[in-house]
Amino acid sequence: MKFSLLLMLSVLSIANGAANQSSAKPLLDPDHIYSNVGKVIELDRDDDIVTIIDGVGYTWQFTECDDWMIGDYVSCIMYDMETESITDDVIIDYHYEIIP
């Protein structure tokens, strides 16, 4: 999962560089962006990594443990890397989610 985080940062860095050029293209193809919801299952405060599990059973990670607690729900915006495999998808944004 650390690889996924590094890959995500690389994609965003490349996308940011492209945004600095005068181009009308979107940073990421909207056809390859989707939402996901997960539940926090692990906090590694030493390495500042939050691990979540989604409804299908895939685990995902992101940084910044700050106020997260085990059992919190997370709403994520995901990027599928324009591939068929879900294993290389990355979280591009996340927010605390209240599930009633």
Cβ neighbours of residue 14 closer than 8 Å, sequence gap 6 or more: none
CA atoms lying within 13 Å on the CB side of residue 15: 14
d(CA 66, CA 48): 8
Q: Is residue 1 scored above 60 in pLDDT?
A: no
User: What tens digit of pLDDT does each residue of 58-88 get?
Assistant: 999 999 999 999 999 999 999 999 999 999 9
The structural domains of the chain, with segments of one domain joined by +, span 2-21+32-97
Q: Which of 15, 91, 86 is nearest to 49 (CA)?
A: 91
Domain 2-21+32-97 is found in CATH 3.40.50.620: no
CA distances from 56 to 28, 38, 79 (A): 25, 9, 17
